[in-house]
Amino acid sequence: MRQVPNYLFISNGRVSRHFQRYFTELNISFDVWERSQSEELLKQKISYASHILVCIKDDAIESFVKTHSLNTDIYWIHFSGSFVSENVVGAHPLMSFNENIYSPEEYLKVPFVLDHDAPAFEILFPDLPNSHVRLDKKLKPLYHALCVLSGNFSCMLWQKLFSDFENKFQIPASTAHAYLQKQTENLLQNFETALTGPLVRNDVKTIEKNLMALQNDPFQSIYQNFISCYQKMKEEKGV
């Protein structure tokens, strides 16, 4: 008979709250400890746990686990996309988690990226139906850098567009929503052909006008760097 895991979330931060909600939706029992509670209570909760989900900042994970890992039968699991340790298993949920709780359907779509040497997903999360892949831990710094570039930094670009629409042009940010939606759809449909615009057309005059319009704007250097990056990519592909 399969043993039912006893999960303990370390911290009540954003990611922890998301997965607490998901576990609740799936009727998976769990406990939570946060830093406002006592160390004595933490020791008590650890003694009952079989799987401990360490949802704290990366630079605190190793010391926390080494301090509190007294029982070798416990699975210590972290959700970081970049942190690597021999003492804690990495299971990164590849998703952006904001302050709002998601629907059960959205949580079901979250894929997990496991360390290459992690135990089977069915051992770590036997009641989660989510998909999962494995990644060599040596590649995690690059993996996470790509996640940040594509997700976090692209968010900054859209925030810039929405903000300037409203504050500089007095145009509702929602005016660009269809543009964002179609760009996303194009990427999902065929990411290799999704890029459009003056770079693809080699429209030098338009690019120069764009750069001039961004004079004294910190995003001008970002635009210029994208031009350089695009040229290097073309050279690598021999185009």
Task: Write the CATH number for 91.
Answer: 3.40.50.720
Domain boundary pick from 135, 155, 170:
135
- Enter the DSSP assignment of 112: E
| 101 in any annotated domain | yes
Question: What letters, b where the CB count within 10 A reaches 16 and e where it falls short, cover 67-76?
Answer: ebeeeeebbb
Alpha helices in the chain (DSSP H): 14-25, 39-48, 58-68, 104-108, 121-124, 140-147, 154-167, 177-189, 198-201, 204-213, 219-237
152 in the same domain as 194: yes
88 in the same domain as 62: yes
Q: How far apart are CA 16 and CA 121, in angstroms?
A: 19
110 in the same domain as 197: no
25 in the same domain as 115: yes
**Three-class SS of residue 7?**
strand
Q: Six-digit token pair at 180?
A: 């964002």
98 in the same domain as 164: no
What pLDDT, in 10s, does the model give residues 92-144? 999 999 999 999 999 999 999 999 999 999 999 999 999 999 999 999 999 99
What pLDDT, in 10s, does the model give residues 173-232? 999 999 999 999 999 999 999 999 999 999 999 999 999 999 999 999 999 999 999 999
Domain count, the chain: 2
Q: What pTM, to 2 d.p., does this model score? A: 0.91
Residue 2 confidence (pLDDT) above 90: no
What pLDDT is attached to residue 214?
98
What pLDDT is attached to residue 146?
98
| 176 in any annotated domain | yes
Domain boundary pick from 112, 135, 158:
135
90 in the same domain as 146: no
130 in the same domain as 201: no
- Enter the DSSP assignment of 93: E
110 in the same domain as 17: yes
What pLDDT is attached to residue 3?
74
Q: How far apart are CA 182 and CA 204, in angstroms?
A: 25
What pLDDT is attached to residue 1?
40
What pLDDT, in 10s, does the model give residues 215-229? 999 999 999 999 999
| 1 in any annotated domain | no
161 in the same domain as 129: no
Domain boundary pick from 113, 135, 157:
135
Residue range(s) defining the domain that contains residue 122: 7-135
152 in the same domain as 103: no
- Dihedrals φ, ψ of 100, to 5°? -85, 140
What pLDDT, in 10s, does the model give residues 69-102? 877 789 999 999 999 999 999 999 999 999 999 9
110 in the same domain as 149: no
What pLDDT, in 10s, does the model give residues 10-64? 999 999 999 999 999 999 999 999 999 999 999 999 999 999 999 999 999 999 9
| 2 in any annotated domain | no
Query: Smallest Cα–Cα separation from 31: which of 39, 44, 66?
Result: 44
Query: Smallest Cα–Cα separation from 42: which of 32, 51, 56?
Result: 32
Looking up tokens 């008979």 gives 1
Higher model confidence: residue 237 or residue 119? 119
| 86 in any annotated domain | yes
166 in the same domain as 48: no
Task: Write the CATH number for 218.
Answer: 1.10.1040
Which residues have a Cβ under 8 Å from the Cβ of 12 and sit 6 or more positions away? 20, 32, 34
What pLDDT is attached to residue 239?
67
